[in-house]
Amino acid sequence: MYWMNCQIRIIGLLSFVFILSFANTAEACELNLESNPQSSHFEYNAQARTASPQKLTLRVRNTSSDKCIGVLSVQAQGRDNYLSAASQSLTFRMYGSSNTSQLLLQTNANLQNTVPMSVEAQASETFDLFLVIDSGQNALAGTYASDLDVRFDSKISDIMFNFPLRVETIIKPNIQANITGLGTASISDTQISRNQTSLELGELIPKKSYKLGLQIRSNAPVSIDVNSENRGFLRHQSEPSEISYALELNGESLNIKQTSRINGLSSINKNGRTNPMNIRLSDFGSNLPSGNYSDVITFHISAR
């Protein structure tokens, strides 16, 4: 009998698959504001010919173990301009450097840019922003404010940080005055104008009137205190003789025997606004001695 032994060798492959996963334990970029001029106050002089950059310093700290690399930008919240209670606005620009080469924000052109920014891990960095308010803007005295967002956008991840920044600009009252009519008198100061000028009336004729003007340019309402050194008389230079006169301002007769106050007309426009002024001599007699007669009238102009 014939037998055949068949053997089948079964060869199997046992595979073991190891899935290796590595958890990234590094912290994400984390910026914190260490110092922030959340309410920065500046003064603005509309009469200045050039605008000077005002520095705002931000100090931020990276509390993570990763370096923060990204860009910095500045955005205005709401409307783009400074606003005031008087519903007026000032346009401004924000730069990332003092030489105004890195323009970040320009409100009157609706322009926004970014500048590179990086903070090493576990380190602090200081960043300077420079505010420039365009010169020559006509605006009333008061406080103007803008709420801004200083923003950091990471180039490595989708991380973004916002730092609020409120900037306030104060415009102080400014007065410029000029007498028109019998010559030009320049009376200018930043707060109160009180320089002296001479007005030549020429030959004095009874009942003669002299039409003048008190021209005032101001960014605030003004009050005018008027007084006469001789209490309403032109006095002779050496003799005990005098000639009375009347003074009108804005059509109002002033009692210059004492200090009189009147609300003046002013404008922030280039030529200001003129307050009509009239000097009228009395009907003096012909027996007065010849010579020079004079008085000193003081106009004390102040912002209200």
Instruction: Classify residue 21: in a domain, yes or no.
Output: no
Comparing 136 with 194, the larger pLDDT belongs to 136
Question: At 69, is the pLDDT very low, low, confident or very high (cuts 50, 70, 90)?
Answer: very high
Report d(CA 61, CA 218) in Å as an integer.
46
For the ranges 29-43, 88-102, 256-270, 288-302, the lowest mean pLDDT is seen at: 29-43
Residue of 184, 187, 171 lying closest to 264 (CA atoms): 187
Residue 19: the pLDDT is 41
Which of these, 54, 50, 47, lies nearest to 138 by C-alpha position? 47
Q: Is the pLDDT of residue 168 over 90?
A: no
Domain-located, residue 147 = yes
Closest to 46 in 3D by CA, of 170, 214, 192, 188: 170
- Summary mean pLDDT of the chain: 79
Residues 236 and 206 in one domain: yes
If asked whether residues 60 and 145 sit together in one domain, one would say yes
The answer to whether residue 273 sits within a structural domain is yes
Among 118, 138, 171, the domain boundary falls at 171
| Distance linking the first and last C-alpha atoms of the chain | 136
**Residue 236 reports pLDDT greater than 60:** yes
Residue 160 in any domain: the answer is yes
Locate 242 and state its tokens. Answer: 């005098």
Q: Which of 171, 200, 215 is the last residue of a domain?
A: 171
- Total domain count, the chain: 2
Tell me the residue range of the domain where 50 lies.
Answer: 31-171
Count of alpha carbons within 13 angstroms of residue 1, beta-carbon side: 2
Phi first, then psi, for residue 108 (nearest 5°) are -75, -5
Tokens 């030489």 -> residue = 99
Question: Which of 192-195's residues contact partners 24+ apart within 8 Å by CB, and which partners?
Answer: 192/300, 192/301, 192/302, 193/299, 193/301, 194/298, 194/299, 194/300, 194/301
- Select the highest-mean-pLDDT range: 129-143, 173-187, 230-244, 258-272: 230-244
Residue 278 pLDDT level (bands cut at 50, 70, 90): very high
**Is residue 67 included in any domain, yes or no?**
yes
DSSP β-ladder status, 39-43 and 160-171:
parallel
Shared domain check, 132 and 44 = yes
Measured between alpha carbons, how far is 299 from 297 in angstroms, rounded to an integer? 7
3-state SS class at 233: strand
- pLDDT, residue 63, reads 92
Which phi and psi angles does 148 have, rounded to 5°? Answer: -120, 160
Describe the chain by its helix, strand, coil percentages, rounded to 5. Answer: 0, 50, 50
pLDDT above 90 (res 78): no
Name the residue with higher pLDDT: 191 or 236: 236
Residues 67 and 87 in one domain: yes
Residue that finishes a domain, picked among 142, 171, 200: 171
pLDDT of residue 134: 83
What is the per-residue pLDDT for 229? 94
What are the C-alpha distances in Å from 206 to residues 148, 243, 293?
Answer: 66, 9, 13
